[in-house]
């Protein structure tokens, strides 16, 4: 013990060569700097998407914001892991994605993304932009039903991927 009652810091012994420790520390700093830079880029991208929302996103957001649907707090254009989700709720773990005409061109990317987010514990619901614009009530009912199912499963809902990750209403393009 030191004077004043504080314990001495532990002695760390290094049994490797003295050249490897600085290299290892440099590598960790570089990896952390890369992760921070990637996160900043994702945050900038999310901000840009919030600024440039589609009409369907604006319309759905007006119905979801301020806990208007089932008292659940949604956020829009949120960085979730390595993706930006259109709308996200932390409890229950629910992501809502809106797809436009370009969806057919990026279907495999979106399916991989959905699998990844489901592995992180999120239930991913997908709707066509046209359905949000033409049938907002039906879309909100489908979302509310999923929220109720999640609440019924447990006190603290955990979203699972069980085939509902690509829930769709009929396309209206």
What is the tens place of the pLDDT at every residue in 42-94? 778 777 777 778 899 999 999 999 999 999 999 998 888 888 889 999 989 99
**Given a cut of 90, is residue 143 above it in pLDDT?**
yes
Q: What percent of the chain has pLDDT over 70?
A: 64
Q: Are 77 and 50 in contact (CB under 8 A)?
A: yes
Question: Is residue 12 pLDDT above 70, yes or no?
Answer: no
Residue 89 vs residues 34, 116, 131, 166, 172: alpha-carbon distances, Å: 27, 17, 21, 17, 26
Task: State the average pLDDT over residues 158-162.
Answer: 41
């Amino acid at each position: 013990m030191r004077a004043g009652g504080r314990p001495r810091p532990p002695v760390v012994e290094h049994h490797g060569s003295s050249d490897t420790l600085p290299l290892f520390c440099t590598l960790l700093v570089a990896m952390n700097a890369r992760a921070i830079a990637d996160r900043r880029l994702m945050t900038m991208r999310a901000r840009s998407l919030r600024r440039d929302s589609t009409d369907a996103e604006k319309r759905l957001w007006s119905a979801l914001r301020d806990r208007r649907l089932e008292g659940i707090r949604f956020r829009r254009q949120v960085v979730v892991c390595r993706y930006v989700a259109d709308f996200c709720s932390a409890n229950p773990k629910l992501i809502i994605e809106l797809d436009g005409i370009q969806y057919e061109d990026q279907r495999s990317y979106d399916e991989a993304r959905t699998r990844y987010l489901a592995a992180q514990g999120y239930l991913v619901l997908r709707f066509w932009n046209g359905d949000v614009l033409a049938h907002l009530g039906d879309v909100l009912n489908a979302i509310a039903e999923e929220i109720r199912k999640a609440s019924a499963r447990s006190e603290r809902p955990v979203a699972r991927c069980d085939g509902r990750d690509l829930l769709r209403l009929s396309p209206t393009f």
